[in-house]
Every structure is written in C-alpha cells, then in structure tokens.
Amino acid sequence: MIEPSLDVLLTRVDSKYTLVVAAAKRGRELMNGQPQLVDSRSSKPVTIALAEIAAGKVFYERTRDGLK
C-alpha cells in the first residue's frame, strides 16, 4: 500500500493539481537543505514532502500567480 494514501492527501488540499505543485515545491526545498518536518522511512524528497503534507506540517497559500 502506498503511504500516505491519496485520500488522506486530498483532505489537506483543494485539488490534485495543488497537491502536485505543493509536493514539488516542498521537495525542492528539502533538496536545497531545509530540515524535514516528519520522520520518514524514505530518503526521496517528494515522498517526504507528501508525508509532511499528510501530517499537516506543510501548508500552502493560493495567490493570483500560483502557490506560495
């Protein structure tokens, strides 16, 4: 089973598109040296970002130009 599940992730965001953009942005932050906000068995930045979103540790703000 894939963790975290898509059902859980979609309760934290308003659409799948928002989820992809937020996870990619947070993954880039992790690759650039930002500390992890949750413990994860994976070392992949996007997987860690998805775990952080599912845990409610990462938030987004919708702006006119995109996500912030």
67 DSSP β-pair partners: 62
Query: Residue 49 in contact with residue 23, Cβ under 8 Å?
Result: yes
What is the rounded CA–CA span in Å between residue 58 and residue 24? 12
The counts of H helices and E strands in the chain are: 3, 0
Q: Is 10 helix (H, G, I), strand (E, B) or coil?
A: helix
Entry pTM: 0.85
pLDDT in tens, the chain (68 residues): 578 889 999 999 988 999 999 999 999 999 999 999 999 888 999 999 999 999 999 888 777 776 66
